[in-house]
Amino acid sequence: MAFLKVDNVSIRGIAACVPSSIEENRDLPFYASPEEAEQVISATGIERRHICPDGTTTSDLCFKAAEELINKLGWEKDSIDLLAYCTQDPDYLNHPTSFVVHDRLGLPNTCMCIDFYHGCPGWVNSLSSVSSMISASGLRRAVLMVGDMCSHDAGKANREERPLFGDSGTATALEYDDNAKPILFNIITKSADGMALARKNGGWRAPFTLDTLKADIDRREGLVPAAETTDKMDVFAFAITTVPKTLKQLCANFYIDLESIDKLVLHQANAMMLKTIAKRLKIEMDIVPLSLKEYGNTTGASVPLTIVSECADEYQNAPQKTLACGFGTGLACAGVYFETSHIVCPHILEY
Amino acid sequence: MDLNEFIANFADQFEDTDSSEITAATEFKNLDEWSSLIALSVIAMVDEEYDVTLKGDDIRGSVTVMDLYNIVKSRS
């Protein structure tokens, strides 16, 4: 069982940045009528999304978030021992993106870099690694960046995916702390069902040919109709059954009282799904923040983005007991419980 | 596994449909209230009550409540 109890590590701050350019779901070209657009919006809960313009990547967003966070914390650059980056959308195919931001932030060569490749469970999953490293290794301070720009692969003519995905970049600051309450994880993997969400062409299992490359570009640009590959019902079924189970197991294993939590922060997949999950956990929606109306499904970054966009003042001004869950890609489901006290949590930034 | 109990649990997922309307022979996709949200509630209910994970194909391939019952029964 992947239950992790990570001692002596505190989350000191969380920052998030989105591109300033916005795509309104009401303006998408493929709806036959305003009523059709409203139907989709009411089912997903997503009205608009922030989209990286050409030439901007998640590392621009993560850089801005990390710089603001480090400044607000007052951390000297040479006090940061580890810079980590989790994305499915790296700047380069053969160069870990943490190096790109390490250089841009002007961090010293005494700071190590590490990249993680994860989708929707990305923040929770990489947080388990980074916090464990600090707890066990003697590292003192780390910044974990998580960002994705999945809107760019959704396909402009894809009626199912284009209204969903938004781009963002986040930064989370972690520090060794003898007095920290443990950070607790439960991470579940169902890899046999995971290929439904895989993007196959262009990887080494299916290298691009001229034909598949052209087809992929045409799909992205919306020149050909999108193939609907993901069985949404199965992904939904996975989410509404596995997420409550994962979180209940986490609470049972570590004696966490579900009624004592201040916030349940769920991966922002779709409003209907999140309401079903909360109902099954018997948790009222007033402690379940939703960022998807303004930002859409921001994949791996959705948990920290939601904390920043919906609850920045609460996390800055008061202690918070947070239960969070990232789920999807893998398929995997990663639950975490952590307590914070007056963290640095600046309002959402734009790039 | 009890058929009447399954039908009652199935009917519980509906708000506006009278539970007396739902029997083993009901073609549930023809009910006015049937929607993807109800489908999800049914998947959640089956997971919780019977520890069986239904897939999209199971819902798509079923016509009557009895069809669903048989799938759940065969896996529980």
- The domains located in chain B, with CATH, are 3-13+24-75 (1.10.1200)
Instruction: Give the residue among A113, A36, A53, A125 at the shortest CA–CA distance from A88.
Output: A125
The whole-number pLDDT of residue A235 equals 81
The whole-number pLDDT of residue A231 equals 66
Ranges of H-type helices in A106-164: 122-137
The whole-number pLDDT of residue A179 equals 95
Residue A282 has pLDDT above 60, yes or no: yes
CATH class of residue range A1-351: alpha beta
The whole-number pLDDT of residue A334 equals 97
Q: What are the residue boundaries of the structural domains of chain A, listed by start?
A: 1-351
Average pLDDT taken over every residue of chain A: 94
Interface test mutation site (partner B, options A44, A228, A231, A234, max chain B beta carbons within 10 A): A234
pLDDT, greater one: A113 or B41: A113
Instruction: Give the residue among A233, A329, A266, A41 at the shortest CA–CA distance from B44.
Output: A233
The whole-number pLDDT of residue A159 equals 84
Contacts of A234 in chain B (CB under 8 A): 55-56
> Which has the minimum average pLDDT: A95-104, A116-125, B10-19, B33-42?
B33-42
* A112 inside 8 A of chain B by CB: no
The whole-number pLDDT of residue A194 equals 81
The whole-number pLDDT of residue B15 equals 84
Residue B75 has pLDDT above 80, yes or no: yes
* B15 inside 8 A of chain A by CB: no
- Kindly identify which residue of chain A lies nearest to residue B49, measuring between CA atoms: A241
Q: How far is CA A311 from CA A116, A196, A262, A347, in A?
A: 26, 33, 11, 9
Pairing of strands A48-50, A320-328: unpaired
Task: For residue range A143-184, list pLDDT tens digits in order.
Answer: 999 999 999 888 888 888 899 999 999 999 999 999 999 999
pLDDT band at A131 (very low <50, low <70, confident <90, very high): very high
H or E element that contains A3: strand A3-6
Contacts of A231 in chain B (CB under 8 A): 55-57
What is this structure's pTM?
0.91
Task: For residue range A186-230, list pLDDT tens digits in order.
Answer: 999 988 888 877 888 889 999 999 999 999 899 888 888 766 655
Shortest distance between the Cα of A298 and any Cα of chain B, in A, equals 23
Task: For residue range B13-68, list pLDDT tens digits in order.
Answer: 898 888 889 999 999 999 999 987 788 889 888 988 898 988 888 998 999 999 99
